[in-house]
Each structure stands twice: as C-alpha cells, then as structure tokens.
C-alpha cells in the first residue's frame, strides 16, 4: 500500500464554509479544494435553497450577501435563481475555488474581506445576508462573533433579512468524544470520506477536520481551527442589540423549533428593524 499523502493546515475554517482570518500556510489551496469536494452539494441545496428563497423572497435590486462564502457554491446556486450576490471571504484560496465554480456567472461579486469589513465592501442596503455552514463560529472568539452579528445587521436595509446557521453547541458540549461524520461523497469517480472532531475548552472549541480519498494511493487533508461555540440565548441577545428582530430559531432546515438538547443545528432568522417606526417593514415568514 502506498503511504498516505498528508496536507495539514491550522486556521479558523476547519468546518463547513467559513470566513477565516489570514494566516501563512502553503497548503491553503489544497485544503480549499479538498473541502469543496467533501460536500454533497446537491443534497445540501435540496434541503437549504427552498428555505433561502422563502426567507429572502423574490430576487430584487438590493441583492444578498454571502458572509463567509467559502467555495461559493451557495452564491452560484442563488445567482442561477436570479439573485445578485456579494460573496465575501477572507481567504483568497477559497475565493479562487469559488470563482472557478462560478464560471463567469455575472450576478456574483467575489470580494476578499472579513466580517468587520462587510458594510464597507457590500454597502448597507442589501435585501438579505446569510452565513451558513457554521461560518459564524469561525470568527473564533466571543468578541468577534458578536461583532460579526452587528456587521450582518449593518449590511441590511430596514426590513432586510438575516439567516445564520451554526451547529448546536449546547448539545455537543455534552458529547465526549464529539465527532460528526463520516461524510461520504463521490466526485469524478473519487470517493471522499471526512470526519470532524470537536474539543470544548472553556469558551472555545477546537475542531479537526480530516478528509481521506484514494487517487493514485491514499491521500488525506487535515485542517485544524478554533471556533467560538455561540449558543441560543447569547445569539438572540446579540441580534436584539444589533437592531434585528428575531423571527425564528430553528433546529434544522425542516423548520422544527430549536431544542438545545436534541437539535443538530441552531438557525436564526431575523429582520432589520426600521428604527424610525420601531418595527420591520416586512412581516416574518
């Protein structure tokens, strides 16, 4: 048997699609490609896109912001449905994969930027902002995660919608070891198998993502990072102080009510308030 080829990175995006901080590692491009190939995008879109289209409504001039776009697959899928999308990520290698996936799609602007940059690079009159695949947790610290929610709100026009999905860290804290997977995907005849392990340490969570595949021998990509495991009450409070009205908190894309003991995800749907009237200009869906 051939020895495995190993590529390892440490950053803030060792999870599903994240906006990372910049860091020095020659293998970023390899990780970005391996991550993109480890996701069953068709299954995700069947589950997620109908919810997105319902939350954001019909495409309109304001457009959407993909905060932490990763390999850009959501931006491409929404652009194909008529939405204009500003897809932002701090990692140039992820943006490279995203631009390749877009194949000249003219409804997407790819922008290198961090959460703290969002209003400056995408403006403040967007119809919607979404941050999925656990990308908010990739902010890494409590301060940065709460600041990110403020910036999401600042991107929106009054009545604009926010949609954020992270894992249900409340439940995960009680699992030891905490492992998600395996996730198995076949791309171009090659089978990719990935597993994530989470280790909670105080207010932080270390995550390791390992992807294995066979292509002229076994190969592997290991990515390590630190997440901020934001939980329900803190998330809702941050929305309220940022000028957002929380419309729903779900535990999955089937819109089941969030349960801290059993839900897989924490999904928060919120609307930017119209400060002059003290209420949003669009009713919750």
* Residue 91 to residue 98: CA distance in whole angstroms: 11
For each of the domains in the chain, give its residue range(s) and CATH number, in order of start.
41-166+230-272 (3.40.50.150)
* Rounded CA separation 201/187 (Å): 35
CA distances from 271 to 21, 115, 165, 168, 230 (A): 27, 19, 15, 22, 20
Task: Please tell me the pTM assigned to this model.
Answer: 0.87
Q: How far from 241 is each of 34, 42, 147, 153, 237, CA to CA, in Å?
A: 38, 36, 11, 10, 6
CA 29 centroid distance within chain: 18
d(CA 134, CA 220) in angstroms, rounded, equals: 22
pLDDT tens, residue order, the chain (285 aa): 334 443 334 343 333 533 343 333 334 677 788 888 888 889 999 999 999 999 999 999 999 999 999 999 999 999 999 999 999 999 999 999 999 999 888 999 999 999 999 999 999 999 999 999 999 999 999 999 999 999 999 999 999 999 999 999 999 999 989 999 999 999 889 999 999 999 999 999 999 999 999 988 999 999 899 999 999 999 999 999 999 999 999 999 999 999 999 999 999 999 999 864 344 444 444
143 CB burial (10 A radius; 0-12, 13-18, 19+): exposed
């Amino acid at each position: 048997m051939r020895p495995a080829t190993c590529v390892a990175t440490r950053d803030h995006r060792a999870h599903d699609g994240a906006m990372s901080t910049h860091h020095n590692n020659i293998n970023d491009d390899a990780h970005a490609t391996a991550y993109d190939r480890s996701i069953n995008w068709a299954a995700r879109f069947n589950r997620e896109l109908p919810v997105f289209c319902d939350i954001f409504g019909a495409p309109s001039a304001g457009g959407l912001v993909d905060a932490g776009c990763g390999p850009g697959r959501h931006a491409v899928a929404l652009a194909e449905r008529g939405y204009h999308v500003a897809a932002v990520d701090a990692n140039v290698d992820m943006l490279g994969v995203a631009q390749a996936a877009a194949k000249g799609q003219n409804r997407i602007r790819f922008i290198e930027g961090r959460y703290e940059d969002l209003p400056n690079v995408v403006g403040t009159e967007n119809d919607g902002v979404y941050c999925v695949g656990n990308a908010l947790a990739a902010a890494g610290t409590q301060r940065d995660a709460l600041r990110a929610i403020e910036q999401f709100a600042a991107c929106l026009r009054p009545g604009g919608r926010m949609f954020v999905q992270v894992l249900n860290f409340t439940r995960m804290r009680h699992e030891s070891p905490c492992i998600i997977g395996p996730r198995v995907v076949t791309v171009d005849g090659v089978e990719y198998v990935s597993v994530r392990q989470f280790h909670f340490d105080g207010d932080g969570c270390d995550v390791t993502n390992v992807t294995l595949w066979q292509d002229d021998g076994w190969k592997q990509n290991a990515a390590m990072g630190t997440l901020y495991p934001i939980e329900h009450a803190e998330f809702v409070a941050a929305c309220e102080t940022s000028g957002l009205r929380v419309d729903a908190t779900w535990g999955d894309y089937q819109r089941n009510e969030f349960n801290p003991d059993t839900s897989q995800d924490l999904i928060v749907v919120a609307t930017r308030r119209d400060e002059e009237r003290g209420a949003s200009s669009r009713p919750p869906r």
